[in-house]
Amino acid sequence: MAIKIGILQCDDVRDSLLADHGNYPEMFIHLFERSTQDWEFKVYDVRHFEYPEKLNECDGYITTGSRYSVNDEQQWINQLAAFVLQLNKASIKLIGICFGHQLIAKILGGKVEKSVKGWGVGVSFNQIDRQQPWMKPFQSGVDLIVSHQDQVMKTPRNTDVLASSAFCPNYMLQYNDHFISIQGHPEFSTSYSKALMAVRSDVIPANRQREALVSLKADIDARLMMQWMVNFFRI
């Protein structure tokens, strides 16, 4: 059965990196297509207030990450928050990635702040704290590329913490049966992570960059995480 996924685009890849890595929606579509054949994708650039005419125009939605903070007072972020609340009320499936992970938590009653631990870059290593039916094949940890300063410091009520680490205790969350969110980026490649750190070298401390570059030699669970996301949309 064909499934239609709406990609809520919250940022663009920097111009200097586009030719080599593509834009964020393309990263997601490329990764999804490894696990699906007949799915359709529709991109909505929410920064320019592009939204579906009807909530059920898509079977589910996914957010890209963003260089912006969910605490920035921008009209497009407020509009996206209102749309996410509508999806929640209608119990339509949504997967929040990084910025989306933090946005969902904030608007449903949690707290998002810039972490005193500093930048999360490179690969994050996380344990699964609560197994879910869509986590097939299952493994006890999930290691993904990250790029963030803000973190979910307090989760909303009735939220399940699915995965965590010492650096990011609220790494993966689930809200009832229709929302899940992840601090990591299954769509990022190691080459894009390196390139993004390079262009941010003026704001990411040198020692953190060195640690991140070493971590990028580890195996990454991007394909596993994408399979879990596919399973989540299917159930």
Residue 196, H or E segment:
helix 190-199
pLDDT at 107: 97
For the chain, the average pLDDT equals 96
DSSP state of 155: P
Q: Is the pTM of this model over 0.85?
A: yes
Given pLDDT bands bounded at 50, 70 and 90, which one contains residue 86? very high
pLDDT at 1: 60
CB 78 within 8 Å of CB 103 = no
Q: Give the mean pLDDT of 181-189.
A: 97
- Written out in words, the top-level CATH class of the domain with range 4-234 is alpha beta
d(C-alpha 178, C-alpha 95), whole Å:
8
Task: Pick 34 or 156 by higher pLDDT.
Answer: 156
d(C-alpha 128, C-alpha 35), whole Å:
22
Is 74 strand, coil or helix? coil
Closest listed residue to residue 212, CA positions, set 151, 144, 140, 141: 144
- Tell me whether residue 68 is exposed, middle or buried, using C-beta atoms within 10 angstroms of its C-beta: 0 to 12, 13 to 18, 19 or more: middle
pLDDT at 196: 96
DSSP state of 46: G
Domain ranges for the chain: 4-234
Residue 63, number of CB atoms within 10 A of its CB? 28
Q: Give the mean pLDDT of 150-178.
A: 97
